[in-house]
Chain A
Amino acid sequence: MNRFKKKKEQRIEKQHHRELPLSKSPEDYLSAAFIDEPVKDSVESSSRPAPVPASKKARAALVAEKLEKDLKTPLSEENVGLKMLKLMGFKTGLGIGKKEDGIREPLAFAKKRGRAGLGETERQEEAARKREAWSQARIRLIEQRRESFQAAMSSRFSDRRVASNLVKAMKTIEALDVQAGHERSCLWWSSADEHGKEEKRFGLKQGVQESIDFKEKPSMRDQNDTVAANQMPIMTEDQEYSVNFELWQTLKNDEKLSLATLYLRETHSYCLYCGHQYQSVESLKEECPGKNEDDH
C-alpha cells in the first residue's frame, strides 16, 4: 500500500507536468480559439499580457495593431499541426493538392467599416490624394508666382529706369553735340525712329523678352557682348565714334546707356547722374562720385 501511495504521488506530479504545457503554451486553444466563446479558465486569461491602456480608443488601437501583426505572422515551424502536415509530405513553400499548387497563404482578412458604397472608399481615398496633390501644386505655384512677380517687378523697374536715363542721356548728347557743332550721330534722340523711341521710352517689351531670351540663348548674348566690346576701344582711343545705326540697333538699353554716359563723360565732361557739365575730364574724374547711377 505504501508503494502504491508513492506511485500515486509520482503520477500526480507527472500530470502536473502534463498540465503545464497545455495552459502556458502560446498556441493555447482555450484562450482565443473561438472568439465568440467566453474563456472559462481564469488561469488562461491571467497568463495574457497585463498592461492595459487607459482609454478605450488606445485599447482598440492596440487590439487592431496586434491583429494586424498576427495576420502577417505565419504559423511557427514548431506548430504541431504543421509538423503533422510535413509527416504527410507537405513541403514548405508549396501548396496543398494533387499538384501541390494550392494557395500558399490564407486569404486576406479585410474588414469593411461603415456603410460606404462599393468603390466609395477608393473614391474618397483617390479624392483625398488628388486634393493633397492639388494643394501641393497650388502652394508651389503661388510661391513660383510670387518669386517671378518680384523678379519681374524689379527688372521692370530697373528697365524703366535705364530707359528713362537713356532717353535723358540721348537728349543731352544731342543738345551738347549741337552746341559743340558735332555731326548727327546715332546717339541723338532725334535719330531714334518712332518705334525705337517707343521701346526705349518704356523698355517693357525688350526687358521681358530679354528675361526669356537670356536663358534660352546665352550664346546670342555673348555674341552681342563681344560685338559691343569690339566697338569700345575705338571710342576711348581715338575719341571717334564709328558706332553706326545698325550696330546701335543691336545693342540693349543698358549697353546703349553705358555707351551714352561714357560718350557724355569723355566728350563733354558731362555726368548724366550729377546733371552737371564739368570744366574738364580731369575735374569730372575728381568731383563726380562715379560712372554709375548707384554711385550717386
Chain B
Amino acid sequence: MSKRGFDSGPMGGVGGEMGQTRKQRIDLADLRPGVGGNGGIAPVGGINPHTNRPYSSKYHDILAKRRNLPVYEFLDDLLAKVKKNQVVVVEGETGSGKTTQIPQFLVDAGYTRDGYCVACTQPRRVAAMSIAKRVSEEMDVTMGEEVGYTIRFEDCSGPKTVLKFLTDGMLLREAMFDPMLKKYKVIVLDEAHERTLATDVLMGLLKDVLQRRPDMKMVVMSATLDAEKFQKYFGDAPLLRVPGRMFKVEVFYTPEPERDYVQAAIRTALQIHLCEEPGDILVFLTGEEEIEDACRKIRDESANYTSTHGELAVYPLYSSLPPTQQQKIFSEAPGPQAPGAPPGRKVVVSTNIAETSLTIDGIVYVVDPGFSKQKIYNPRVRVESLLVSPISRASAQQRSGRAGRTRPGKCFRLYTEKSFQKDLQEQTYPEILRSQMSNVVLTLLKLGVEDLVHFDFMDPPAPETLARALEELNYLGAISDEGLITQAAKMVLSAPDFGCSNEILTIVSMLSVPQVFMRPKEAAKRADEAKAQFAHVDGDHLTLLNAYHAYKQHGGSKDWCWDNFINVRSMGSAENVRTQLERMLTRMEVPLLSPDFNAPDYYTRIKKALTAGGYMQVAHLQKTGQYLTVKDHQIVSIHPSSVLDMKPPWVLYADFVLTSKNYIRTVTAVGETKNELEACAKRLYQL
C-alpha cells in the first residue's frame, strides 16, 4: 500500500504483466458495480477501448479495489443526473474516491466522443499531477496520451487526450484564448469548497458559457456541507451526496483558553505519546518558523521517554520544505526499541497543507490550536499579507476528520467549546474576498467581460478592491482610462506563444514610462551618439529593449545612465512596472519565456509577438513616402526621434502624436508583406 493519496482512496498494488485472454469489447456495463455477488466485475483480459490494447493484469487488480470505493454505488445515479441536467453538484467526503472515479465515469459514459475532452480542475499543481498519474494507471493508459495534465510550465497532454487534469488557474488561462472552451464537453470543478480565486472566477465564466453551450455539462465537487450554496448559484442544480469512508473522531476541548498555543500543542503531542494508544499524531501550526521550533522541542522532550514509551519520530511539513524532506512524512512510525518494548510513534507538525491537500495514512490523533496563516488584502492600504488568523468551523471539522481516515481517532482542540462556537466563523472567507484582483480583472477584461460590476460572482469582492485593481492596471498601462484592455496588455498576454514573454514584458514596461532617452539642447549630438549604441536597425521597440538590457548589465548604475543620456528615474519606474507586471503574469499562470539571445530568430520572434499584440496599430507605406494607418486611415510620418533610417513597407507604432504634422512615434518595422502580418495577428484574432 502506498502511504500517499490525494483523496483517491486506497492505492493499488504493483503487479507485473500477465498473459491476456482476449475479449472483443468492454462496454460500460463491465465497469459498473455488481448487483449482488461479483456479477459486474469484468473478466480477466479484455480490450482497453482507449488504447485498443488488451488490459494489463494490474488493471484488474486496481479495478477490484476501485469497486470498493463508496462512489461506485452512485455511478448510475450520477450519470442519470448528468444526462438530465447541465450542472450537477456532488458532495463527497474525503475518501469517497470522487476525484479519481467521477471523471473516469464521464469518459466511460461517452462524453468524450467526437473528439471532445473531459477537464477536471484542481486547486493545486501537485494534486493535478498525482491524480492524473493515478487515473492513467487505473485506466491502463500512458500518462500524457489519453489521460494528461496541464499545469504551469508543464503540459503533459496530447491530441489523444480525453481526460485532462489541470489547475483551475490553467483552465482560466485556456479560457482566455478559447472563451467557449470548445474542446471540452464536461468540466469537473473539483475541491470547489476551497473557493480559490481561480475557481470562483471560473464558476462565474462557466455559468455564462453553459448558457451559450447547451451541450456542455458541468460537475461541481465539494467536500464540506456547503453544497447548497453551489446548488443555488447554479440555478438549483441537483445534488448527489456520496458518503465517505470515515471513522468516528472524538473531539476534546480545553477547559480554559491557552496562554501559548505553540507550547500547548507541544505539551499535548507529548501527552498523547505518553498516555494514548499507538497511532500517529498530526499537529497543525501556522508557519515554518513555528513548526521547526515545535519539532525541536518535541524531539528534545520526547528523548527522555524513548526507553519507557517508545521512540517519537518528528517530521515538519510546510510548502517551502524541499520535496525529499516532505516525502519523509510518509515513512512508517518507528518500531519498538527492543522486543517487547512499546512501539514508536510518528508526529507530523504541519501547516494547513495537511488539512485538505495531503493525506497521511495512520493518523489517529490530531492537535488543532485553531489557527492558520491566511491571506488578506486591504485595498485601502494596498497590502496583501499572510496573517495568523483563527480558522473557520468548517476548517476545524476538516482537521478533526484527518484523525479518522484509518480507524476511530481523537482530535484535541486547544480552545474551549465556547470559543469554537463564538470565536470561529462558519466558513473561511473565499479567497476572492481576501485577494488583490489586478490579474483577475485583466483576465476578465481579456475574456471580454466589460461590465465587471455586474459579473455574476458567487461572492462579489468589495468595490474598493475592484477599483484598486483597475487603478493598478491603468497605471501599468494594461487598461485605458475607459477601462479597456490596451494593446500593450494584449501583446504581453500573447507573447508566450512566441516564446518571448520576458522581452515583451520589458518593452511594455519601457513604453509605460516617460521618455527614456534624454536629449538636452546643449548636448544633442552627444546624446544622439549615446542612443545610437542601443539602436536596432528594425526600430524603436527593439532599441528600448537593448537599452534596458544595457541598463541591467550595468547594475542600474546612475553614473552609467548619466553618461549615456538615459533618464535614471524613468528606468527605475520601468523596472518597477516590470516587476509588478511579472508578478501579475505569474499569478495568471502566464509562462515567462525568453528565446535564446544568440539564436538568429531572436528579434524576429519578438517582432512577431509585437505584431500579434499591436495589429491595429500598424501603418503601411504609401507611394508618397508617407504612411497610412490601418485603423483609422490617417496620413502620418515617422517621428524624427525614431532610430529607423529607412522606410519599411509596414511599421508598428506605439503613439500617435498630433502636432502641426501627424507623427507616429516609437516605430518598428514589421513583416515584409501584409500576408505575413496577418499570419501573426491571426493567432490572436482567430477567435
A-to-B contact residues, CB < 8 Å: 4-5, 7-9, 11-12, 15, 18-19, 22-23, 27, 29-30, 32-35, 37, 40-41, 43, 67, 70-75, 79-82, 84-85, 87-90, 94-98, 100-107, 109-112, 115-120, 122-123
| A-B pairs with beta carbons under 8 Å apart, 23 shown | A15-B514, A22-B514, A30-B576, A32-B381, A33-B580, A37-B576, A40-B576, A75-B380, A81-B467, A81-B468, A84-B470, A84-B471, A88-B454, A89-B451, A96-B462, A97-B454, A97-B457, A102-B462, A107-B433, A112-B371, A117-B254, A117-B257, A118-B257
Give Cα A19 to B579, complex, Å: 20
- How far is A210 from B479 in the complex, measured between Cα atoms in Å? 89
Q: With contacts A75-B467, A98-B454, A123-B256 known, is A118 near B461, CB below 8 A?
A: no
Contact (Cβ within 8 A) A29 B475: yes
Given contacts A35-B383, A102-B460, contact A109 B378 (CB under 8 A): yes
Within 8 A of A (CB), among B652-687: 659
B379 touches A116 (CB 8 A): no
> In the complex, A72→B381 CA distance in Å?
10
Contact with A along B376-402 (1 / 0, CB 8 A): 111111110101111000000000000
B464 touches A102 (CB 8 A): no
Given A79-B467, A116-B260, A96 contacting B457 (CB threshold 8 A): yes
Give the Cβ gap from A91 to chain B, nearest Cβ, in Å. Answer: 9
Q: Given the known inter-chain contacts A90-B463, A119-B257, please indicate yes or no for A75 contacting B451, CB distance below 8 A.
A: no
CB-CB contacts of B587-616 with A at 8 A, as 1s and 0s?
Answer: 000000000000000000000000000000
Q: Is the CB of A107 within 8 A of B376?
A: yes
Contact call A84/B467, Cβ cutoff below 8 A: yes
Nearest Cβ distance between residue A223 and chain B, in whole angstroms? 57
Docked-complex contact A107 and B382, CB < 8 angstroms: no
Does any Cβ of A come within 8 Å of B212's Cβ? Answer: no
Chain B residue contacts of A107, Cβ below 8 A: 376, 378, 429, 433-434, 462
The answer to whether B481 touches A80, judged by C-beta atoms less than 8 angstroms apart, is yes
- B519 near A110: Cβ-Cβ < 8 Å: no
- Which of A23, A33, A87, A109 sits near B376, CB closer than 8 Å? A109
Among residues of A, the one whose C-beta sits closest to the C-beta of B418 is A119
In the complex, chain A residues whose CB is within 8 Å of the CB of B459: 102-103
Which residues of chain B come closer than 8 Å to A85, judged between CB atoms? 452-453, 463, 466-467, 470
Stretch in contact with the other chain, from B96-104, B113-121, B261-269:
B261-269
- Of the stretches B324-332, B543-551, B567-575, the one at the interface is B567-575
* Residues in B whose Cβ lies below 8 Å from that of A112: 371, 387-389
Q: How far apart are A28's CB and chain B's nearest CB, in angstroms?
A: 9
Is the CB of B416 closer than 8 A to any CB of chain A? yes
Residue from the list A37, A73, A104, A118 in contact with B463, Cβ < 8 A = A104
Q: Which residues of B contact A87 (CB under 8 A)?
A: 482-483
Q: Across the two chains, which residue of chain A brings its CB closest to B579? A: A37
| B197 CB, nearest partner CB in chain A, Å | 14
Query: Are the CB atoms of A73 and B659 closer together than 8 Å?
Result: no
Q: Are A105 and B258 in contact (CB-based, < 8 A)? A: no
Chain B 447-499 residues near chain A, CB threshold 8 A: 450-457, 459-472, 474-475, 479, 481-483
Find chain B residues with CB under 8 A from A100 CB. 453-454
Residues of B within 8 A of A106 (CB): 377-380, 462, 464-465
Contacts of A118 in B (CB 8 A): 257-258, 261, 369-371, 390, 414-415, 419, 423-424
Measured CB to CB, the nearest residue on chain B to A76 is B467
Task: Mark B residues whose CB is within 8 Å of A.
Answer: 254, 256-264, 369-371, 376-383, 385, 387-390, 414-416, 418-419, 422-424, 429, 433-434, 450-457, 459-472, 474-475, 479, 481-483, 514-515, 519, 521, 524, 556, 569, 572-573, 575-576, 579-580, 583, 640-641, 659
Contact B519 A84 (CB under 8 A): no
CB–CB B382/A33 < 8 A: yes
> In the bound complex, do residue A15 and residue B463 qualify as a contact, i.e. CB atoms below 8 Å apart?
no
Residue from A4, A37, A67, A120 within 8 A of B259 (CB atoms): A120
Please judge, given known A-B contacts A30-B576, A34-B580, A90-B463, whether A119 and B514 are in contact too, CB under 8 Å.
no
Of all chain B residues, the one with the shortest Cβ separation from A35 is: B383
Please indicate the chain A residues that have their CB under 8 angstroms from the CB of B376 in the complex. 107, 109
Residue in chain B with minimal CB distance to A111: B387
Shortest CB-to-CB span from B481 to chain A, Å, is: 7
Q: Which of B371, B470, B474 has the most CB of A within 10 A?
A: B470
Cβ–Cβ < 8 Å partners of B381 in chain A:
32, 67, 70-71, 109
The answer on a CB contact under 8 Å between A115 and B453 is: no
Q: Can you name the residue of chain A whose Cβ is closest to the Cβ of B465?
A: A106
A89's nearest neighbour on chain B, judged by CB, is: B453
Q: Taking the nearest CB of chain A, how far is it from the CB of B354, in angstroms?
A: 19
Interface centre among B450, B459, B575, B576 (most CB of A within 10 A): B576
- B454 engages A80 (CB within 8 Å): no
Chain B, Cβ-Cβ closest to A115: B260
In angstroms, how far is the closest chain A Cβ from the Cβ of B581?
A: 12
Question: In the complex, what residues of B have CB within 8 A of residue A110's CB?
Answer: 387, 389
Contact of B456 (CB < 8 Å), options: A9, A15, A97: A97
With a cutoff of 8 Å between Cβ atoms, the chain A residues found around residue B414 in the complex are: 117-118
Establish whether residues B453 and A88, one from each chain, have CB atoms under 8 Å apart when the complex forms.
yes
Q: How far is the CB of A98 from chain B (nearest CB, A)?
A: 4
In the assembled complex, the Cα of A19 lies from the Cα of B574 at a distance in Å of 13
Rounded to whole angstroms, the CA-CA distance of A80 and B475 in the bound complex is 9
Contacts of A101 in B (CB 8 A): 460
CB closest chain-A residue, reference B472: A29
Assess whether A119 is in contact with B451, with CB atoms less than 8 Å apart: no
Q: Which 4 A-B pairs have the closest CB atoms?
A: A102-B460, A117-B258, A81-B471, A97-B460
Known: A96-B457, A97-B454. 11 other contacts (CB 8 A): A41-B573, A81-B468, A88-B454, A95-B462, A96-B460, A98-B456, A101-B460, A103-B461, A106-B379, A117-B259, A119-B416
Q: Which of A18, A109, A120 contacts B514 (CB 8 A)?
A: A18
How near does chain A come to B548, taking the closest CB pair, in angstroms? Answer: 14
Contacts A32-B382, A74-B380: A81 and B460 contacting too (C-beta < 8 A)?
A: no
> Is B389 a contact of A80 with CB atoms below 8 Å?
no
Q: In the complex, which of the residues A67, A101, A103 has the most CB atoms of chain B within 10 Å of its own CB atom?
A: A103
Q: Are B450 and A70 in contact (CB under 8 A)?
A: no
A81-B469, A102-B459 given; A115·B263 CB < 8 A: yes
With a cutoff of 8 Å between Cβ atoms, the chain A residues found around residue B472 in the complex are 29, 33, 81
Q: Are B380 and A73 in contact (CB under 8 A)?
A: yes
In angstroms, Cα B382 to Cα A70, docked, is 10
Shortest Cβ distance from B661 into A: residue: A7
Please tell me if the beta carbons of B515 and A12 are within 8 angstroms of each other in the complex: yes
Q: A12-B519, A41-B573, A107-B376 are in contact. Are A122 and B423 (CB under 8 A)?
A: yes
Enumerate chain B residues within 8 angstroms of A90, measured Cβ to Cβ.
453, 463
Q: Are the C-beta atoms of A119 and B462 separated by less than 8 Å?
A: no
CA distance A4 to B638 in the complex (A): 13
Give B468's nearest chain A residue, CB to CB: A81
Q: How distant is the Cα of A79 from the Cα of B474 in the complex, in angstroms? A: 11
Tell me which of B387, B414, B482, B514 has the highest count of chain A C-beta atoms within 10 A of its own C-beta. Answer: B514
A88 to B556, CA, bound (A): 41
